[in-house]
Structure 1
Amino acid sequence: MDVWLEAALNGPWGRARQPGIPVTADEIVADALAAADAGAAVIHFHAYDERTGRQRDSYEIYAPVIERIRAVADVVCCPTIPFAGSGDAAEPMTPAARFAAVEKLLAAGLIEWSVVDPGSVNISLADDVAAGREGFVYANPESHVRYGLALAAAHRMTPSYAIYEPGFLRLGAALHRASPGVPQPVYRFMFTEQFTFGLPPAEWALQAYLRLLREEAPAAPWMVAGLGVDVEPLIGAAVRAGGHVRVGLEDAPLGCASGNTALVERAARLIEEAGGTLATGAQVRAAS
């Protein structure tokens, strides 16, 4: 089976919480190309303002980075949207403002996938809860999800659904059924150890998600992923069940000592040990 290996390079954490993440354009390009060499066919990253070291989802930041990556490696590049509710996107945004960079990237022909997360959830670290520090609500109103799916229909873009809770899967599948012309979304099961949302990285949890997916979207591709988690113990089970894999410093436990290249290399080895074959970017593009 051809297995899609996605590298999530940095996420919204900043270096205060994940010191090894790439932030500058040069760092992101270097990590992306190294991940591609190690077997990743999909590259996901968050754009950063190099002056502040904080996430800023701007076409002017994304576009040249994606152009540099695609000039060297045949990979699928997947940007994100503002992490609504976090310190970098605390004020409410309209759907059009939220997807502004994605819309421009689509018009320029630079991307084929983008984040369209079908639901809202509390993002709280277990340690912060114990210490009395409050997290935030990652907010994805239905109007925002519908806007992202309309873009997907107009540009033949694959929606990348992060499934933080089982309800995300149910709503995402319902909205896809109600949105003619939208390509089949990819369902990323978001396991965690350090945060308090969703399910832990256990095989019973994977089986629960798969049973629900079979009922709601039986033909949909899926992958194991997460935040604040090591998904390596689930890779073999995922491959044997017909799934795909995402790793990288966005998903790894905060303070992870490994870099993106090492995480991708280990995942590639585990995929092959489980009988999977690493898909190329062209194969992912043809199948999604």
Structure 2
Amino acid sequence: MSTPVIIEAAINGVTAPERNPSVPRSPAEIAADAVRCLAAGAAIVHSHNAEFALDGARAAELYLEAWRPVLRERPDAILYPTAGAGATIADRYAHEVLLAEAGVLRMGLVDPGSVNLGGADELGLPLPMDYVYVNSYRDILHQVELCARYRLGPSVSIFEPGFLRVALAFQRARRMPRGALVKLYFGGDEGYLGGTGVTFGLPPTAPSLEAYLAMLEGCDLPWSVAVLGGDVIASGLARLALERGGHLRVGLEDHAGPRRPTNEELVREAAALARATGRRVASCAEAARILGLPQ
């Protein structure tokens, strides 16, 4: 029997209402959207606060305002935040500590590498900006140790192949905390911060997926696919992943294209595709069991 499909809904990210007016921004909007996505088949919901430059206490307060109504209705929901702002890795992950101590987290962040996540100009060339999403080896150790300390299943972001090599090193050394989900992020035609042209990572193609799966050979970590700056289903990547035993991430953080769908619509499309490939959709409780999330 095939493994049920875990669907993650990444419901906002840095997507502006100008790009899609359905993107939830306020805590009340995030809560309502998360509940709709869970009802449509999502087991995991990932959200950002509308403001980024917040200290850990304020960031945690806003996450709790959004998540507590969700957990009252769906106590089995798997919710997790993004990294925060701050000069040090402890600052950037202070909210995760507070959320874990508040008892609302079962999944934490592990971003095992650094990547350019910029936009593009009218020629499709990189914008002249200095921003790099940086995670040093010391930062990565902090993230892994935080997940271990608070018994959080790591959400392992793979923006580039080097990220996966680092993640696999932790797995081989038996240092990757229990409950990890490897998330293979492919770069779509639009940049994560907007514009069309240069982007990050591997393109959403069959050879790209096969390259990652070759790296994962012999490893029992579950994995999912997403297209940041594109459409994971329209690209054909979602079907390929489902046929190979993978899971799916969809949502307005990632989605780009001519359509203006809602998060709920994207989750329903992912669920329908899963069923069309002969796999049923995992409930929140089943997702926790598949991942082996600590209780």
TM-score by length of 2: 0.86
CA distance in 2, matches of 1:208, 1:78: 28
* Alignment correspondent of 2:196: none
- Deviation per CA, 1:83-112, whole angstroms, max 9, x where unpaired? xxxxxx4xx621211110101111121011
* Alignment correspondent of 1:2: 4
Structure 1: unaligned runs, 5 residues or longer: 83-88
The amino acid across from 2:200 in the alignment is F
> CA 1:236 to 1:96, structure 2 compared with 1: closer, same or farther past 3 Å?
same
* Alignment correspondent of 2:50: 48
Q: Name which of 174, 178, 182 aligns with 1:183.
A: 178
Are residues 1:252 and 2:255 paired? yes
The amino acid across from 1:102 in the alignment is E
The amino acid across from 1:206 in the alignment is L
Q: Percentage identity across aligned positions?
A: 36
* Alignment correspondent of 1:80: 82
Alpha-carbon contact 2:252-2:263 (below 8 Å) kept: yes
* Alignment correspondent of 1:214: 217
TM-score by length of 1: 0.88
Matched residue count? 274
The amino acid across from 1:221 in the alignment is P
CA distance in 1, matches of 2:111, 2:203: 19
* Alignment correspondent of 2:239: 236
Alpha-carbon contact 2:15-2:252 (below 8 Å) kept: no
Secondary structure at the counterpart of residue 146 of structure 2: helix
- Deviant stretches of 4+, over 6 Å: none
Q: Name which of 96, 112, 126 aligns with 1:102.
A: 96
Alpha-carbon contact 1:165-1:197 (below 8 Å) kept: yes
Alpha-carbon contact 1:47-1:55 (below 8 Å) kept: no
Q: How does 1:66-215 map to 2 (within 5 A)?
A: 66-73=67-74, 74-82=76-84, 89=85, 93-127=87-121, 130=124, 133-135=127-129, 136-178=131-173, 180=175, 182-193=177-188, 194-195=190-191, 196-214=199-217
CA distance in 1, matches of 2:134, 2:257: 22
Query: Of Structure 1 and Structure 2, which has the larger fraction of its residues in strand?
Result: 1
Structure 2: unaligned runs, 5 residues or longer: 192-198
> CA 1:18 to 1:153, structure 2 compared with 1: closer, same or farther past 3 Å?
same
Q: Judge which range, 133-142 or 222-231, deviates more.
A: 133-142
The amino acid across from 2:48 in the alignment is H
Alpha-carbon contact 1:18-1:255 (below 8 Å) kept: no
Shift, 1:129, TM fit = 6.5
CA distance in 1, matches of 2:243, 2:215: 18
